[in-house]
Amino acid sequence: MTTTIFDSPLGLVRVTGDEAGVSAISCVDVSPDEAVSINLPQPLERAVTQLTEYFAGTRQIFDFLMNPAGTAFQQTVWKALLDVPFGNTLSYLALTRRIGDEKAIRAVAAANGKNPLWIVVPCHRIIGSDGSLTGYAGGLWRKKWLLEHERGGSGQLSLF
């Protein structure tokens, strides 16, 4: 596996994968001396380019090769997340209904939380039934920033 790190409006982003595809994207707190690969496999190179375009406001859809590891159920949930359009949100309950088993809401929420492809598989677009910004592995302030960014906001966080 190869790893690269780049700066974004939300802090440092780590992208990991190989020629088979990108397996993980996450926000990280690392020291500047962490090793970063120079010769990236094409899927990682494309991921960095496309994420940079996303942050610049010029990309809404990602088409690089992805290869996240997860159970069959997690893969089903992550595939359903890809159907939530840019700039929109969906409740956990509505996502669970789309998957076909309303009783699996806790399992769907857990799979959402295990999503290894931050931003690209848009788990940040899933909210509470009451519209609240419920948990996000990258922190609620990042979730809020991402949703505002996708709705055409400045990406600048408001204090109130």
Task: Tell me, yes or no, whether 49 and 109 share the same domain.
Answer: no
pLDDT at 34: 59
> Mean pLDDT over residues 10-21, rounded?
94
Which one-letter amino acid corresponds to residue 85? P
Which one-letter amino acid corresponds to residue 61? I
pLDDT at 135: 80
Alpha-carbon distance of 83 to 65, in angstroms, equals: 17
This prediction's pTM: 0.87
Which range of residues forms the domain containing residue 116?
A: 72-151
Contacts 24+ apart (CB under 8 A), 25-29: 25/51, 25/116, 25/117, 25/118, 25/119, 25/120, 26/116, 26/118, 26/137, 26/138, 27/118, 27/138, 27/139, 27/142
Task: Tell me, yes or no, whether 79 and 136 share the same domain.
Answer: yes
Alpha-carbon distance of 19 to 38, in angstroms, equals: 15
Residue 153: pLDDT band (50, 70, 90) is: low
Which of 30-34, 46-50, 80-84 is least confident? Answer: 30-34
CATH of the domain at 94: 1.10.10.10
Task: Tell me, yes or no, whether 52 and 85 share the same domain.
Answer: no
123 part of the active site: yes
Task: Tell me, yes or no, whether 130 and 80 share the same domain.
Answer: yes
Average pLDDT, the chain: 89
Task: Tell me, yes or no, whether 47 and 82 share the same domain.
Answer: no
Task: Tell me, yes or no, whether 44 and 109 share the same domain.
Answer: no
Q: Is residue 159 part of a domain?
A: no
Catalytic residue (choose from 13, 47, 117, 123): 123
Report phi then psi at 93, rounded to 5.
-65, -45
Q: Is residue 29 part of a domain?
A: yes
CATH of the domain at 16: 3.30.160
pLDDT at 83: 96
Residue 53: pLDDT band (50, 70, 90) is: very high
Task: Tell me, yes or no, whether 44 and 84 share the same domain.
Answer: no
Q: Is residue 157 part of a domain?
A: no
Residue 159: pLDDT band (50, 70, 90) is: very low
Q: Is residue 65 part of a domain?
A: no
The total of structural domains in the chain comes to 2
pLDDT in tens, 104-125: 999 999 999 999 999 999 999 9
Task: Tell me, yes or no, whether 48 and 102 share the same domain.
Answer: no
> What percent of the chain has pLDDT above 90?
76
Task: Tell me, yes or no, whether 42 and 81 share the same domain.
Answer: no
> Mean pLDDT over residues 75-101, rounded?
95
